Amino acid sequence: MYNDKNSKKIVETIQNWARSHSIWVLAYGTGCGAIEISPTMTSRYDAERLGFRGAATPRQADVMLITGYLTVKTVKRVVRVYEQMQSPKYVVGFGSCTINGGMYYDSYNTINLLDRYLPVDVYINGCMPRPEAVLAGLSKLQQIIREGNANGAEKYLENLAWYKENQRKIAPNWIAKAPDLNW
Amino acid sequence: MREKATTIYLGPQHPGITGNMMVRLKVIGDTIVSAQTEVGYLHRAFEKLQERRNWLQGFTLMCRFCVPESDPMENVYARSVEAIDGREVPERGKYIRVMVLELARIATQLMWYAGQNGSLGLYTMGQWSIGDRDYILDLFEELTGGRVYHMYQWPGGVRRDLPEGFTDKVLRTLDYLEKRLKDYDDLMFANSIFQKRTQGVGIVPKENIIEHGVVGPVLRGAGIRSDIRIDEPYEVYDKLDFEIPTQEGSDIWARALVRRAEVHQSIRIIRQVIDQMPSGEYFNKFPNPLKWIVPAGDAYVRVESGRGEVGFYAVSDGTIHPRRMHLRGAAYVHAITLLESILPGQNIADVSAIMNSLGTCAPEIER
Amino acid sequence: MKEIKDKMIAQIKAVFPEAVNKDYDGNRLDLTVNKEAVPSVLLYLKDSMGFRHLSHIAYVDWIEQGEFELVYILWSPLDKVKLYVHTRINRENPVIENIDMIWRQANTYEREIREMLGIEFTGLVAPDEFILEDWDDIPPFRKDFDTLEYVNRTFWHRPGREDAQDVRSTISERSGEEIPDFAKKYSR
Amino acid sequence: MEYILIKVLEAMATFVLAFIVGMTYGGVVRKITGRVHNRLGPPWYQNFIDAFKLFSKTRGIHHGAMHFLGAAFLMVTSVVSLMIIPILAPGGHAWYNSWFTNLNFNGDLIFLIYIMTFGPLGMAMGAGQTGNPNSSIGVTRGLSQMVGFEIPWVMALVALMITYKTTSIVDFMNIQRETGTWLMFANPFAFIAAVLAMLGMFRYSPFDIVGAPTELASGPVSENGGKFLFTMMSSGSVFTFAKLVLYVDLFMGGANNLIMLVVKTFLLYMIPVLYGIVSPRYRTEQAVRWFWGWPTFIGLLAILYAVMF
C-alpha cells in the first residue's frame, strides 16, 4: 500500500509543504548582500514568522543564500559547503552580481554566472535587494518547493560532470584534489 | 606542548566571524596559542576596475568598499577628487555631508551593538538595534534612494538637496533613538554578565599603540584622544561642538563605552548641523563626466569612520581615467597584525567578541 | 603650520641632503627619496621627528616610465603634519628593503604589494599568499594586466549584456506587460 | 501477558504526550523570544514542521558507527528517564492517572541521577567520531558544565532524601499529598539550589556554552543533519519535558491531571527561558565557577537544614 503511486504522492505533498515552511538558511555571508540578511531576519522584517531560521553549519541547512558576488576563492568554499549540505537543498542567488556579474563584470576575481557552478533555484535581482525583495524571493522559493520543482540537488548530481568541469576551469588545482561529494 | 595544539578554522563559513574571512587558530584546550588571519574571500579588485572607469563612475564603485558603512568611503573619494581638482564644495553641501556621515556613524554603531552582543550570546540586543538601525536606513532611503549603498556624496557636493520636511524626520528619529539607547544601556551595559565577559578581555597593549597603527574607537579606548575630526578637521567639523570620548581600560568594555558615547555625540552633532544648516547651493557642477579631465596630481585624504581612520590615496595622470585609487581601511591593521598579536593567550570563546570590538570589516581589507 | 613644516624640512635636509621635498598648502608635505634610503629615512622620521603613525603605503604602477612608485604616508600626531615619502623602483628588477621592523603593520601592506605588483621585499617573513589563491598570471595590479581580457578567457558573460541593450522591451514582450509612457522616454 | 501489553501501550501514550508537549513548549519558547525581540515570532507549531522537515531529508551522511551512538544515547536517555518519572500522581482521581506512572521503583531517583548524565556521554562519543573540532570542544564544554550543575542538583536531592528517608519519586509525591505542603516550601533551600542547577540543565543563556553559535558553530551537533538532527531534536524535547515533570513531582506536589501538569511545568520552564533572553553567555570556566558558588552554598544549606530539622 505504501508503495502505491497515489499514497507516495500524498506523502510527497505533505513533505514538500513542511519543507517550504521550515527553511533553515545557512549562515554564510559570501558577499556584501549579507548586510541585508540581518534586517530580514530581525525584528523589522522577521523572516522567522514564515519559517526561515538561521542554521550554523551546512549539515543542518536547507538553503544557501549566495549573497552577492563570488570571488574565485569563495567559490571553492561555497562548492564544498554546498556538497556538505543534505538534500533536498536549495540555492538562492542574491543580487545582480550572481546573475551576470553586476558591476564587477570585468573583475578578474569574481565569477559572473553563478548557475554555471551551482544549480540556482531562485534569483533575486537588485544591488542590493531590499529585505522586501529578499522575502519575495524566498516566498517564491517556498512556492517552487511546494510545487515540487525545487530539484537543484538532483540537477547537480545529474550534471555533475558539467558542473565539475566549470568549477575546475576557475580552480584547477583545488577541485581536482577534492573528494567527490562525500565531504 | 606545541604539538598538542588543535587547529581550528574560524570561518569562512562560521556564524561568529565578521564577514567572509577566516582566522586560523591553534588552540590547546580553550586557550589560543597562535592565530593567523586569512583574507581574500571578498577581493573584487575595485582599484583595478576603477582604472577602466572614469571619475564619475568611480563613485558608484567606491561606496562598496565597506558594506556596513558606505558613506565615509564616498566622502574620501569625493574629497580626494576635490583635492586634486581644486574643486570647492558649497557650505550647505558640507553640512549635508556631515549629517550623512554622522547618521552613518550611528547606523554603524547600532550594527556593532548587534554584532558585539551576538558574539556574546545576547541576541535580544541584536534584534532591537538592527530593527532601530532600519529607521536610519529609512532616512537614507528618502534622502538618497538607497538603503545600504547611497552614492550620495560626489565630487563637488552632494547629489540631491534635502527633501521637504527631512530634518524634522531626522530629529524625530533621533529622539526615538535616544529613548531606545536607555533600554540598550539597561539590557547591555548594566548586565553583570556582559561586564564579566568584556572587562579585562581583548586588551590591546598600550605601549607603542600609535606605532602599531591602531585607530578609532580602539585607540580612544586606550586613553588616547585621537580623532581625525579634530586632528585634521574636514567639512565643517571645526565649526561644531562635540567631545571625543576616551576610556582607559583598552579592553572590550572600554571600547564598548567609547562607542556608546560616540552615538550620543553623533546625535549631538546632527542636532547642531540641523540648527546651523545654511541655505543655498548644495553642489558645484562638474563638467561632462565623459570628458572630465582631472589635472595630474595625487592626494591622500582621511575620514573618521565608525571603526576608525579611513584613508584614500588617489592619483591622476591628467586623463579621464584615474591612474590609481587605493584605500586604507581601519580593519586593514586591526584585523590582521593587531588581531594576530592580541589573540594568543585568549579564550576561544572570546575571539568573536574581540573581532567585533576591533571593528573588523572583511570587505575593507581586501577591497 | 608653515613654520613647523619649514623647520621639519630643514631638519630632514640636514640629515638626508639628497631628499627632494615639495610643499603643498595645508598640512601636507612631500618628500622624494631613492629606494636605498627608505628604511633609514623612515626610521629617522619615526624616532626623531614624531611621525609615529604609518597611515598608508600606496603603490602606483608608472608603466610609461618603467617604474613602480611606493608612497609611505606618515602622520605626526603632535605636529598634525601629513608626510608623503615617495620612492621609485625599477620595474625590471623590483626589489626594496622591508620595513616591518619599523612598523609592524607594514608587513600586511608588503604582503599585498608583493602579490599585486610583484615587488620583492628583502627579509619579509610572511605566508606566500595573501588575497589571491593559486594565481598563475602576471601580478594583477600591474598596468599591463588586462582584467577584461582575463575575464573573457576565464568566465562567461550572460548574453545580452555585451551591447548594453535595454531589456525592458524583452521583459514586457515576455510577460505581455505594457511599458508606461514615462518609461518609454528612457528606453533606448 | 495482557498486563504487559497494556503497560507498553501506556508507555507509548506517555511518549507521545511528552513529544507533543515538549515540541509545543519549544515552539512557544520561540514565540515568546520573538515577542521579546519586538517581532511576531514563528507560529507555536513551528517546531513540528521543523522536525518533520528534518525527518523527510533524503540524504544523511554519517561518520561511522560511533556517530549513531550520539543520537541513540540521547534518545535512550530521554526515553528511560521519561519512563521512570511518574508523569501524574498515582492513585489520583482521574482514571488515566495510572497510564502515566510507568516504571517507577524504590531508588529510582538514584538511577535517574545516573541516567541523566548518560546522554551527554553518548554525545561525546558521537561528536568525537565526526572529527569536527567544534564538536569535540563543545562536548568538553558540555561535560564541564555538567560537572558544574550536577553538584548543587545532587545536593538538593540528597537533602530531600535525608529528610524523608526515601529515594522513590512516588514516595515524595505521596508525602506531599499527605502533608499538604509542597517540598519547595518544606525545604526552600533545596528548591532554590535545584532551580539554579536547572538554569544549567536546560542550556539557555547564560549557560548555552555547549552549542554557542558564534563560538563553535553549533557545537556537538555541528555534523548532524537530517534524521540525526530530528532524533536529537525530538529526544531533546522529550527530555526537557521529563526534567520539568521531575521538578514538578519533587517540589511542586506533582499533578493530578494533565492541565495542572502543563500549567506547572510551563511556569517552571519560564524561569530559564526568560532569564536566558536577557543574558549573554558565560565562558566555560565562569559558568562552572558560578555553579560552584551560590548554588552549591545553597545546596549545602539545604543539607544542613535537612540534617538539623
Mean pLDDT of D81-93: 75
Mean pLDDT of D162-176: 83
Beta bridge partners of A26: A55
Shortest distance between the Cα of A30 and any Cα of chain D, in A, equals 16
**Closest of D226, D172, D278, D283 to residue D50, by C-alpha:** D226
Q: What residues in chain B have their Cβ under 8 A from chain D's Cβ atoms?
A: 6-8, 14-16, 27, 30, 117-124, 127-128, 131, 187, 191, 193-194, 196-197, 347-352
E strands along A95-174, which residues? 122-124
| Residue C70: φ, ψ to 5° | -110, 135
Q: Do D34 and A15 touch (CB under 8 A)?
A: no
Name the CATH code of domain B44-366 (choices 3.40.640.10, 1.10.645.10, 1.10.287.3510, 1.10.1610.10). 1.10.645.10
What is the 8-class DSSP label of residue D219? G
- How do residues D13-67 score in pLDDT, each as one tens digit? 888 888 999 999 989 999 999 888 888 888 889 899 988 888 888 877 777 777 8
- pLDDT for residue C117 is more than 60: yes
* Per-residue pLDDT band at C166 (split at 50, 70, 90): low
Q: Do D213 and A56 touch (CB under 8 A)?
A: yes
- pLDDT for residue D307 is more than 70: yes
Which residues, numbered 106 to 135 in chain B, qualify as contacts with chain A under a Cβ-Cβ cut-off of 8 Å? 111, 114, 126-128, 130-131, 133-134
Q: Do C134 and A107 touch (CB under 8 A)?
A: no
The number of residues in chain A equals 183
ipTM: 0.85
For chain D, the farthest-separated pair of C-alpha atoms sits apart, in whole angstroms, at 60
**Among all residues of chain A, which has the CA nearest to that of C148?**
A106
Q: How many CB atoms lie within 10 A of CB A160?
A: 12
Mean pLDDT of C137-163: 79
Which residues, numbered 1 to 60 in chain A, qualify as contacts with chain B under a Cβ-Cβ cut-off of 8 Å? 26-32, 34-36, 38-39, 42-44, 54, 56-58
**Closest of B86, B84, B62 to residue B73, by C-alpha:** B62
Chains D and C touch (3+ CB pairs under 8 A): no
Q: What residues in chain A have their Cβ under 8 A from chain C's Cβ atoms?
A: 72-73, 76, 99-101, 105-109, 111-113, 116, 169-174
Q: Is residue B358 classed as helix, strand or coil in its secondary structure?
A: coil
Boundaries of every domain in chain B: 44-366
Q: Do C161 and A105 touch (CB under 8 A)?
A: yes
CA-CA distance, D193 to D298, in Å (whole number)?
6
User: Quick one: pLDDT at residue B40?
Assistant: 83
Pairing of strands C53-62, B322-328: unpaired
- Nearest by CB to residue A56, choosing from B15, B67, B149, is B15
* Per-residue pLDDT band at D170 (split at 50, 70, 90): confident
User: Quick one: pLDDT at residue B361?
Assistant: 82
The number of folded domains in chain D is: 1
HEC-encoded secondary structure of B187-247: HHHCCHHHHHHHCCCCCCCCCCCCCCCCCHHHHHCCCCCCCHHHHCCCCCHHHCCCCCCCC
Beta bridge partners of B283: B157
Q: Are B18 and B329 in contact (CB under 8 A)?
A: no
- pLDDT for residue C187 is more than 50: no
User: Quick one: pLDDT at residue C188?
Assistant: 42
Q: Do C105 and B333 touch (CB under 8 A)?
A: yes
Which residues of chain B fall short of a pLDDT of 50?
1
**Among all residues of chain B, which has the CA nearest to that of D276?**
B122
Shortest distance between the Cα of C94 and any Cα of chain B, in A, equals 19
How far CA D2 is from CA of B306, D5, D6, D8, D95, in Å, comes to 74, 5, 6, 10, 18
User: Quick one: pLDDT at residue D24?
Assistant: 92
What cell numbers appear for B302 in the block? Answer: 582621511
CA-CA distance, D245 to D252, in Å (whole number)?
10
User: In chain D, pLDDT over 90 holds for what percent of residues?
Assistant: 4
D230 Rama sector, left if φ>0, alpha if ψ -120 to 50, beta otherwise? alpha
User: In chain D, pLDDT over 70 holds for what percent of residues?
Assistant: 95
* Per-residue pLDDT band at D113 (split at 50, 70, 90): confident
What cell numbers appear for D164 in the block? Answer: 524523608
Q: How many CB atoms lie within 10 A of CB C181?
A: 7
- How do residues A139-157 score in pLDDT, each as one tens digit? 888 888 888 887 888 888 8
User: In chain C, pLDDT over 90 holds for what percent of residues?
Assistant: 0
Boundaries of every domain in chain C: 2-136
Mean pLDDT of D273-297: 89
Beta bridge partners of A55: A26
CA-CA distance, A161 to A163, in Å (whole number)?
6
User: Quick one: pLDDT at residue C169?
Assistant: 64
Q: What rounded mean pLDDT belongs to chain A?
A: 83
CA-CA distance, B126 to B175, in Å (whole number)?
20
- How do residues A72-122 score in pLDDT, each as one tens digit? 888 888 888 888 888 888 888 888 888 888 888 888 888 888 888 888 888
User: Quick one: pLDDT at residue B323?
Assistant: 86
Mean pLDDT of A51-77: 86
Q: All domains of chain A, ordered by start, with CATH?
A: 5-177 (3.40.50.12280)
- How do residues A1-19 score in pLDDT, each as one tens digit? 556 777 778 888 888 888 8
User: Quick one: pLDDT at residue C186?
Assistant: 53
What cell numbers appear for A180 in the block? Answer: 567527490
Shortest distance between the Cα of B138 and any Cα of chain A, in A, equals 11
User: In chain A, pLDDT over 70 holds for what percent of residues?
Assistant: 93
Q: Do D53 and A18 touch (CB under 8 A)?
A: yes
**Among all residues of chain D, which has the CA nearest to that of B119?**
D214
User: Quick one: pLDDT at residue C168?
Assistant: 61
Mean pLDDT of C105-109: 87
Name the CATH code of domain C2-136 (choices 3.30.420.40, 3.40.50.970, 3.40.50.460, 3.30.460.80). 3.30.460.80
User: Quick one: pLDDT at residue B1?
Assistant: 47
- Interface check D39 vs B, CB under 8 A: yes
The number of residues in chain C equals 188
How far CA D153 is from CA of C118, D31, D196, in Å, comes to 64, 29, 8
User: In chain C, pLDDT over 70 holds for what percent of residues?
Assistant: 84
Q: Do D278 and B123 touch (CB under 8 A)?
A: no
Selected residue with higher pLDDT from D4 and C56: C56
Q: At what angle do helices D46-55 and A5-21 cross, to 10 degrees?
A: 130
